[in-house]
Amino acid sequence: MSFCGRVWLAVATAFGPIVIVFLAVSFATDHWLEFDVDRSRLDSTDRGSAYFRVSHDRHRGIFRECYPGNESEFLNNAPGVVDNYCFNIDYEMPAKSTSPTDNLKTRIHLSRCFLAFYIVAMVLFIFAFIFGMVVCCIERKRWAFTASLFAYFAAFANAVAIAFFHGAEYLERNKIEDNEYFYLRWTQNLKDYNSRSYGYSYILGWVGMALAALTATFYLTAGCLIAKKRYRYEEKRPDMMPMGGPAMGPYDMYYPPRGYPAGPMVYNMETGRPLPALGYGDYTSWS
């Protein structure tokens, strides 16, 4: 492989663990969405039990919604609390007795797709990294192209996962009115003094997607350089036919050309001219 090919391969291999760490941290942490609430502006109705989940500072991830801070005493008696200050995000479909709306069902399906595609993206990129390590040991273009393909698929799956995340978020804020947890059922004070932003988990997801696409491009470039060097090597290979010998067809390695005596073709190593062959007769007369 050329020097440039080794550089691209080294950069792609170095990006591999970084992408895996970014995607894993984004997947495992609870800071995809962050909500800051100015509780000093809320009245007693806004702080009531109907809105206790949305009237406190909180941050949400793929699996949990957590309430850090000193004003979350409601967690002491709230059902379903995990780790003392978090609630698990439910991906199960609500019971029919609660009469869930179609928008709520669609949101749950989008959230499931978000989770599934994110897992697929991580698995695909791990395979891409493994194939990239194979390229480092065995410089073959097919392994480089395979690593590139898997990395591109991983970046695409990650982008699709984030698109599903935004779809679920859009429905949550603009369509669903099933209970007080959703934005359209909030009081005006809660809407005005609830600020929402994207956290570092969300940012790491996008950065991991971009780096995965770059890694795929680097693997593809390295594969092209490997193929180019191999092509040049084959062009420069010396002709296997001895100097001065006649042009040979695909079957002439077994039979001498017409007009030449049959038998082993022996050449002078100094001049390249054919020496008299052993006389076995013309092969045309064998039949």
Alpha helices by DSSP H, 237-280:
none
Dist. CA 274–CA 246, nearest whole Å = 10
Dist. CA 128–CA 122, nearest whole Å = 10
In this predicted model, what pLDDT tens digit does every residue of 66-125 receive, in sequence order? 998 766 677 877 788 888 889 999 899 887 757 889 999 999 999 999 999 999 999 999
For every residue of 48-73, DSSP letters joined together read: SGGGTTTSS-EEE-SSEEE--SSS-G
User: Would you say residue 245 has pLDDT above 90?
Assistant: no
**Residues in Cβ contact with 189 at an 8 Å cutoff, skipping those fewer than 6 apart:** 41, 42, 43, 46
Give 127 or 141, the one with higher predicted confidence: 127
The pLDDT confidence band at residue 275, using thresholds 50, 70 and 90, is low
CA neighbor of 154 nearest in space, from 121, 115, 118, 127: 121
Dist. CA 224–CA 221, nearest whole Å = 5
Dist. CA 243–CA 262, nearest whole Å = 19
Nearest 5 degrees, angle CA 225-CA 230-CA 232? 95
- The whole model's pTM is what? 0.76
Percent of the chain at pLDDT > 70 equals: 77
CA neighbor of 91 nearest in space, from 117, 109, 67, 116: 109
**Residues in Cβ contact with 187 at an 8 Å cutoff, skipping those fewer than 6 apart:** 45, 46, 51
Dist. CA 41–CA 105, nearest whole Å = 33
State the pLDDT at residue 277. Answer: 54
Chain-centroid distance, C-alpha 265: 58
CA neighbor of 116 nearest in space, from 43, 172, 165: 165
**Residues in Cβ contact with 249 at an 8 Å cutoff, skipping those fewer than 6 apart:** none
State the pLDDT at residue 239. Answer: 46
3-class SS of residue 106: helix
State the pLDDT at residue 97. Answer: 59
Q: Show the tokens assigned to 208.
A: 């991991």
In this predicted model, what pLDDT tens digit does every residue of 32-75 receive, in sequence order? 999 999 888 888 888 877 788 888 889 999 999 999 876 667 78
What residues pair up with 198 in beta bridges, in sequence order? Answer: 33
H/E element holding 244? none
In this predicted model, what pLDDT tens digit does every residue of 247-272 receive, in sequence order? 555 544 544 555 555 555 555 655 65
Domain with CATH 1.20.140.150 in the chain: 3-231
**Residues in Cβ contact with 96 at an 8 Å cutoff, skipping those fewer than 6 apart:** none
State the pLDDT at residue 276. Answer: 62
In this predicted model, what pLDDT tens digit does every residue of 169-216 receive, in sequence order? 999 999 998 888 899 999 899 999 999 999 999 999 999 999 999 999
Mean confidence (pLDDT) of the chain: 82
**CATH of 3-231 given 1.10.579.10, 2.60.40.10, 1.20.140.150, 3.40.50.300:** 1.20.140.150
